[in-house]
């Protein structure tokens, strides 16, 4: 599986790829504690590429990594739509408790973001982390 990094680890901005460049989507009060991107060529329920979380050292935006398997999935609901994030591991510390806490805070932030920017109530929720021993994509 090819994973493309859109948002490098420790970034306060969330980016999305748009053609051959990356555009800022929003500012987050909490920096990402991982590299964030997508699995190239695999579409999710929201019509976009499936989200990927890459645990390891900070990687450059646009970097493409090849993985033979994912190690888990963060079950996530964004604006009432399934928006799971698949976990890939390179090296370093990994804790499902810390990731779970991060995504609970992120879901709360997204709820407030929809309320403030679009003036509507949205269902955003982290549904937990499922560790897997084989590929499910």
pLDDT given at position 29: 83
| Model confidence pLDDT, tens digit, residues 88-124 | 999 887 888 999 999 999 999 999 999 999 999 999 9
CA distance 44 to 48: 6
CA distance 124 to 109: 9
| Model confidence pLDDT, tens digit, residues 43-84 | 988 888 999 999 999 999 999 999 999 999 999 999 999 999
DSSP string, 25-75: EEE-SS--SSEEEEEEEEE-TTSSEEEEEEESS---TT-EEE-S---EEEE
100 φ/ψ angles, rounded to the nearest 5 degrees: -60, -45
């Amino acid at each position: 599986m090819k994973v493309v990094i859109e948002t490098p680890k420790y970034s306060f901005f969330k980016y999305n790829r748009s053609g051959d460049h990356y555009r800022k989507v929003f500012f987050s009060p909490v920096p990402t504690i991982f590299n964030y991107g997508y699995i190239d060529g695999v579409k999710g329920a929201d019509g976009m590429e499936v989200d990927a979380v890459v645990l390891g050292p900070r990687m450059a935006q646009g970097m493409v990594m090849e993985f033979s398997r994912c190690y888990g999935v963060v079950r996530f609901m964004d604006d009432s739509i399934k928006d799971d994030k698949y976990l890939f591991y390179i090296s370093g510390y990994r804790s499902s408790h810390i990731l779970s806490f991060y995504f609970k805070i992120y879901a709360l932030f997204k709820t407030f973001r929809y309320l403030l920017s679009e003036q509507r109530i949205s269902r955003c929720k982290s549904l937990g982390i499922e560790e897997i021993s084989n590929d499910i994509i």
